[in-house]
A and B are shown apart, each in its own frame.
Chain A
């Protein structure tokens, strides 16, 4: 079959800096090409160049052939006739990809009116049609609603509707599910696959997640530093990975840190005890005459963490996991129930109890860069929690402690005088971990600590967490939406849904044999590289029989 869109020796540079180097690929009718790579590999730039929406000042050479027409030579006028009609794009973040001030119907109909030059009423007829095709047909009055009134999954369906409204031949999806919850991700991926097969589009699927690509794509290309290092039909490619980078990527995606040596002693007094905890937030009033409604973020949650134990907490956005984390950290007092850390109440009036709790529980967050003051040196950032120590340290002792900690998280003591912007994402997360460790805590609350990191760096950070657990006997409350991360690092797990614990138990058991329907749904929706590849092989062997 001939390619609908093909790139040949495509090179793009921005103000002299090469971004893409000799990139070639073919998109065929009814087929999905998966493009994987880590941040900065040039995969998004490939998508933007296929749309000819490159940033200002970009220079390109090579051929982008769409039905015999070289897009790299097209001017903007010609591209406005192709974009959205023949080649369409789906973006990562559905909330910001939609104009907040215009209705859904308006935004979907706009492209239809622009390309097909039909009347307003006909454009709306077609809009209803397209919304039905993306599974939003049953939503009454959807066309009159605004993006902020929709859920994340619904918004992404609208973005897909905009893209497929004029029946394009090529669909480009740049991380279409990265911002979504796992169950929603599974739905959106199925939808995209169905559309591509049914309407015989050619699709370029860009993702950092090998599992998603292995599940979706017919062919896969792996990118690094602006070049495609390896490509081939999905199953075959993953079986015979030959390039060292692809092998490294594959291993990192499946990485599980070494398990702990000795089992956790659960007979000792628990470190953290949470019993019957509840917390509600007031919702904005619908009207002054109505009673105020409350959002019950956490309801009757009980669990405990033993010393050296690592506890996982999984659930989708809005399930109450962040509220629970804030309550444990002493930042949000509970409405009901209580928390005991080493037998003491962190919300007690005693300053000493409070201080002990702050020394003993530290936090690591998702975005390390956002949690640093860019004008503080690493030494100041890491050393800051030391003021909690009752015995004031001399500046010499302080410095020594910071250097020690930096070395124990895999940085060097000479990094102390540098500033946050001088480090890479992975190194910054190490700094954040160093800051958490500096007071010698016994529990670290880690809220999505590896979600913003590339797979290879994620593997290193997970190793660091495992190493600290073994070396320092650290206990963790590990919060993540990513089941594979939780599976890799925790012994026990709690599954939360709508503010309540629906299932808890040893991690292995819960994930291999989930008993609650919600957990089962979560587990089956979570992308897993090995499972995806196994299913593909089964399907293909059936197909060849």
Chain B
């Protein structure tokens, strides 16, 4: 198990380096002059030259790449061109919103989806199952910004129990921040939970047709003991795959929800970085997302191996 984890980590580090190279090539080398990209076509020659010096673009590409990678190791991501503050600061500020949001939505969707999926599989083919799966289908189909607006209308405008948007910051008020995250978490969790419940249900149904389920029943185990002890664990592998994919999406793919609730999250930062051509912000945030995705993949791999001993042998 240790070797398995070590080899995986080694492989993922190599992936990370390869990704950094691709990002660097795409953003800094291929389009020609990053300074021109950032300032636009109508820029003055002297402004361009000044920016080039500021960004260190006069150095050769290899040197720039090495400086960039080494800088990241030291926590130095460069200084944002539009905000004129260190990118590290910007990102760490934004991740304080995005990470709790993603973890919250993921936890909520898992807590909802697994029991619902198991229940549905258990009552497979009955009207309860059909009903639950129809609701899940609707949950997938509803655009989440529309659902978010609906939540705001009900809980913030009619009932007035939760804020409609904004984020006070953890330093200002912890309860206020938590309250501000409740509605976005729910809005994000709904479609995720719907997908997850369907995956859980179909994975469990597949497992319940396996021979070892019959063996467990022949041992004398009751239906529900068989389901929980032998069914659910074996059905978790596809569920984990989906969870891993969802986490990467939730960290940065939530621009719309962040906009609906006026949350200063990572998604908005990247969006603004792109619209304002702030390549330094884009480069660093994309790198951060790659790192996070790779880390989550690593966790999912470890979880696979923990669930299924056949996957523990390193190849």
Q: B3, A99: Cβ atoms under 8 Å?
A: no
Q: A98, B212: Cβ atoms under 8 Å?
A: yes
Q: Which residues of chain A are within 8 angstroms of B314 by Cβ–Cβ distance?
A: 284-285, 287-288
Q: B315, A284: Cβ atoms under 8 Å?
A: yes
For residue B307, CB closer than 8 A to chain A, the reply is yes
For residue A382, CB closer than 8 A to chain B, the reply is no
Majority secondary structure of chain B interface residues (helix, strand, loop or mixed): helix
Q: Which residues of chain B are within 8 angstroms of A84 by Cβ–Cβ distance?
A: 218-221
For residue B308, CB closer than 8 A to chain A, the reply is yes
* A 143-182 binary contact with B (CB < 8 Å = 1; else 0): 0001010000000000100110000000000000000000
Q: A93, B3: Cβ atoms under 8 Å?
A: no
Partner of A115, one of B212, B217, B220: B220
Q: Which residues of chain B are within 8 angstroms of A162 by Cβ–Cβ distance?
A: 215, 219
For residue B32, CB closer than 8 A to chain A, the reply is no
For residue B160, CB closer than 8 A to chain A, the reply is no
Complex Cα distance, B222 from A77, in Å, reads 7
Q: B221, A101: Cβ atoms under 8 Å?
A: no
Complex Cα distance, B230 from A476, in Å, reads 46
**Known interface pairs A96-B211, A146-B309, A285-B314; A80-B230 also in contact (CB < 8 Å):** no
Q: B217, A83: Cβ atoms under 8 Å?
A: yes
For residue A331, CB closer than 8 A to chain B, the reply is no
Closest to A87 in B: B218
Scoring A51, A99, A110 by chain B CB atoms within 10 A of each residue's CB, the highest score goes to A99
Partner of A101, one of B216, B308, B313: B308
Interface residues of A in 48-87 (CB under 8 A from B): 51, 53, 76-77, 79-85
Closest to B124 in A: A56
How many positions in chain A have a CB within 8 Å of any CB in the partner chain? Answer: 35
Q: B218, A51: Cβ atoms under 8 Å?
A: yes
Q: Which residues of chain A are within 8 angstroms of B220 by Cβ–Cβ distance?
A: 79-85, 111, 114-115
The distance from the CB of B281 to the nearest CB of chain A, in whole angstroms, is 39
Q: A98, B215: Cβ atoms under 8 Å?
A: yes
Partner of A99, one of B217, B225, B234: B234
Interface residues of A in 98-139 (CB under 8 A from B): 98-102, 110-111, 114-115
Q: B307, A101: Cβ atoms under 8 Å?
A: yes
Complex Cα distance, B221 from A84, in Å, reads 8
Q: How large is the interface on B (under 10, 10 to 19, 20 to 34, 35 or more residues)?
A: 20 to 34
Q: A284, B215: Cβ atoms under 8 Å?
A: no
Q: Which residues of chain B are within 8 angstroms of A83 by Cβ–Cβ distance?
A: 217-220
The distance from the CB of A228 to the nearest CB of chain B, in whole angstroms, is 23
Closest to A288 in B: B7
Q: Which residues of chain B are within 8 angstroms of A82 by Cβ–Cβ distance?
A: 220
Complex Cα distance, B211 from A93, in Å, reads 8
For residue A14, CB closer than 8 A to chain B, the reply is no
Q: Which residues of chain B are within 8 angstroms of A51 by Cβ–Cβ distance?
A: 218
Q: Which residues of chain B are within 8 angstroms of A98 by Cβ–Cβ distance?
A: 212, 215
**14 A-B pairs with C-beta separation under 8 A:** A53-B214, A76-B223, A79-B220, A91-B214, A96-B210, A96-B212, A97-B212, A99-B234, A101-B234, A114-B219, A148-B310, A284-B313, A284-B315, A285-B315
Q: Which residues of B contact A (CB under 8 A)?
A: 3, 7, 210-212, 214-223, 225, 229-230, 233-234, 307-310, 313-315
Q: Which residues of A contact B (CB under 8 A)?
A: 51, 53, 76-77, 79-85, 88-89, 91, 93, 96-102, 110-111, 114-115, 146, 148, 159, 162-163, 284-285, 287-288
Considering the complex of A and B, which 6 residue pairs feature the smallest CB-CB distances, nearest first? A84-B220, A96-B211, A111-B219, A84-B219, A83-B220, A146-B309
